[in-house]
Structure 1
Amino acid sequence: MREADVHGADDEPNPVAPYEVRRPRQQTEPFVFNSPHSGRVYPESFLATSRLDRMAIRRSEDHYVDELFADVTQLGAPLFHARFPRAWLDVNREPYELDPRMFDGALPSFANIGSMRVAGGLGTIPRLVAENMEIYRGRLSVDEGLARIEQVYRPYHATLRRLIAHTHVQFGKAVLIDCHSMPATVRVAGGSQRPDIIVGDRYGASASHDLSRAAVSFLSGLGYRVVRNKPYAGGFITEHYGRPDRGLHALQIEVNRGLYVDESTLEKTAGFDLLKTDLTEFASQMMAYVREDGAQDQLAAE
Structure 2
Amino acid sequence: MTRFDGDMSPAFEIVEPAQWRAPVIFNSPHSGSTYPDEFLSASRIDLVTLRRSEDSFMDELIGHLSDRGFPTVRVNFPRSYVDVNREPYELDPRMFTGRLPSFANTRSMRVAGGLGTIPRVVGDGQEIYRDRIVVDDALARIETLYKPYHRALRRLINKVHQMFGTVVLVDCHSMPSVGVSRDEPRRPDIVIGDRYGTSCTPLLADRVEETMGGLGYSIGRNKPYAGGFITEHYGNPASGLHAVQLELNRGIYMDERRRERGPRFGQVASDFGVLADVLATTIPFGDLGPFQAAAE
Q: TM-score range by the shorter chain?
A: over 0.9
Alignment of 1:252-291 (within 5 A): 252-290=245-283
Residue 190 of structure 1 deviates from its aligned partner by: 8.1
Q: What does residue 107 of structure 1 align with?
A: 100
Residue 178 (structure 2) pairs with residue 185 (structure 1): yes
2:73 to 63, 76, 80: 80
Question: Residue 92 in 1 paired to residue 115 in 2?
Answer: no
1:176 aligns with 2:176: no
Q: State the alpha-carbon separation in 1 of the partners of residues 141 and 260 from structure 2.
A: 29
Does the 8 Å CA contact 2:21/2:280 hold for their aligned counterparts? Answer: no
Shift of the alpha carbon at 1:55?
0.7
Q: TM-score, normalised by structure 1?
A: 0.92
Structure 2, unpaired ranges of 5+: none
Quote how far apart the aligned CAs of 1:131 are.
Answer: 1.4
| Structure 1 equivalent of residue 196 of structure 2 | 203
Map of 1:296 onto structure 2: 286
Give the counterpart letter for 2:176 in structure 1.
P
Match of 1:4 in 2: none
Report percent identity of matched pairs: 51
Shift, 1:92, TM fit? 0.2
> Quick one: which of 16, 22, 27 aligns to 1:29?
22
Give deviations 1:228-265, integer Å, cap 9, x for gaps: 11111100000000011111100000000000111111
Which residue, 141, 149, 159 being the options, matches 1:148? Answer: 141
Q: Is the 8 A contact 1:186 1:195 kept in 2?
A: no
| 8 A contact 2:193–2:245 mirrored in 1 | yes
Q: How does 1:211-230 map to 2 (within 5 A)?
A: 211-230=204-223
- Alignment match, 2:58: 65
Q: Distance in 2 between matches of 1:192 and 1:26?
A: 43
Aligned to 1:9: 5
Separation in 2, partners of 1:162, 1:50: 34
Q: Secondary structure at the match of 1:281?
A: helix
Question: 1:282 Cα shift?
Answer: 1.1
Q: 1:191 to 1:100 in 2, by over 3 A?
A: closer
Q: Distance in 1 between matches of 2:279 and 2:69?
A: 12
User: What secondary structure does 2:47 align onto?
Assistant: coil
User: Structure 1: any 5+ residue segments left out of the alignment?
Assistant: 1-7
- Paired amino acid for 2:268: L
Q: CA RMSD in A?
A: 1.8
* Conserved? CA contact 2:165–2:286, under 8 Å: no
User: Using a 3 Å threshold, how does the CA distance of structure 1 residues 204 and 262 change in structure 2: closer, same or farther?
Assistant: same
One-letter code aligned to 1:74 = D
What CA deviation, in whole Å up to 9, does each residue of 1:48-93 have, x standing for no partner?
0001111111010000100001121122111011000000000000
Q: In 2, distance between residues paired with 1:175 and 1:252?
A: 11
Find the residue that maps to 1:253 and give its secondary structure: strand
**Secondary structure of 2:191's partner?**
strand
Query: Partners of 1:86 and 1:135 in 2: how far apart?
Result: 12
Partner of 2:113: 120
Question: Contact between 1:189 and 1:231, CA under 8 Å: does it hold in 2?
Answer: no
Aligned to 1:155, the other structure's residue is in SS state helix
Question: Per-residue displacement from partner, 1:90-132 (whole Å, max 9, x unpaired)?
Answer: 0000000000000011101100000000000000000000211
1:245 aligns with 2:235: no
Distance in 1 of aligned mates of 2:60 and 2:99: 40
Q: 1:235 aligns with which of 228, 237, 245?
A: 228
Amino acid at match of 1:145: A
Structure 1: distance between partners of 2:60 and 2:181? 26
CA, structure 1 residues 191+45, in 2 after alignment: closer, same or farther (shift >3 Å)? closer
SS across alignment from 1:91? coil
Q: Is the 8 A contact 1:188 1:230 kept in 2?
A: no
Could you list the per-position Cα deviations for residues 198-250 of structure 1 after superposition, in whole angstroms to 9, with x for gaps in the alignment? 11100111000111111111110110001111111100000000011111100
Answering whether residue 190 of structure 2 is matched by residue 194 of structure 1, we say no
CA distance in 2, matches of 1:74, 1:289: 20
Report the number of matched residues: 289
CA distance in 2 between counterparts of 1:192 and 1:155 reads 38
> SS of the residue aligned with 2:139?
helix
Q: State the shift of 1:296 in Å.
A: 2.7
Question: 1:26 & 1:162 partners in 2: Cα distance?
Answer: 18
After the TM superposition, list the runs of 4 or more consecutive aligned residues in structure 1 that deviate by more than 4 angstroms.
Answer: 187-191
Q: What SS does structure 2 have at the residue aligned with 1:74?
A: helix
